[in-house]
Amino acid sequence: MVTEAWMKRVALGLAAVGLMLGGAVAASHSPVEGTLPAFASTGVEFSGGKYKFNRPGVNHGAFEWRGQLKDTSSVDGHNVYAEVKVQGHDWVRYYGKQGRAVRLHESNWDGAQRYTAKAGFRVCRDRGALRPNNCAPTRIYTHDWDRG
């Protein structure tokens, strides 16, 4: 004979199993967060950086980053920029202000993909068209979403 108390226990048990499985799936696709180390080159500096790879479906699955970009040589007349490259695309520039520090918070993604798994980051001093820019070494960040 099936009692009402027994049916409540079964329903609660099934709900608990569903919550546990849902939590496991969410944990395997939670955002991957990290710290961007300080970047520096002649005339440019980036500090206080953080990044995350957003999980599929969140903020376009973007590589999201933030930090402070600073022109450390205000008398040279050159601007500075941060550059980000996500897989399969060209570099995207985010300019600072000459002689100042600015806070940046940006997201980069590929609209044809559900998530971003690889991104490059660097900072540079823009020396104009005739002279090459000087940049800090590029750092590459990756995440294997299949492994969690």
- Is 134 in the same domain as 62? yes
- Is 53 in the same domain as 92? yes
CATH, residue 131: 2.60.40.10
Tell me the three-class secondary structure of the chain, residue by residue. Answer: CCCHHHHHHHHHHHHHHHHHHHHHHHHHCCCEEEEECCEEECCEEEEEEEEEECCCCCHHHCEEEEEEEEECCCCCCCEEEEEEEECCCCCEEEECCCCCEEEEEEEECCCCCCCCCEEEEEEEEECCCCCCCEECCCEEEECCCCCC
Residue 52 lies in a domain: yes
- Is 88 in the same domain as 25? no
pTM score, two decimals?
0.77
- Is 25 in the same domain as 36? no
Kindly report the average pLDDT of the chain as a whole number. 84
Q: Residue 21's pLDDT is what?
A: 44
Does 94 score more than 70 pLDDT? yes
- Is 63 in the same domain as 98? yes
- Is 75 in the same domain as 129? yes
Q: Residue 117's pLDDT is what?
A: 93
Which two structure tokens, joined as six digits, stand for 31? 């955002």
- Is 91 in the same domain as 22? no
Q: Residue 3's pLDDT is what?
A: 67
- Is 89 in the same domain as 131? yes
- Is 21 in the same domain as 82? no
Q: Residue 128's pLDDT is what?
A: 81
- Is 9 in the same domain as 72? no
- Is 54 in the same domain as 117? yes
28/2 Cα distance (integer angstroms)? 38
Q: Residue 11's pLDDT is what?
A: 55
pLDDT digits (tens, 9 = 90+) for 52-85: 999 988 999 999 999 999 999 988 989 999 999 9
Could you list the residue range(s) of the whole structural domain that residue 20 is in?
Answer: 1-30
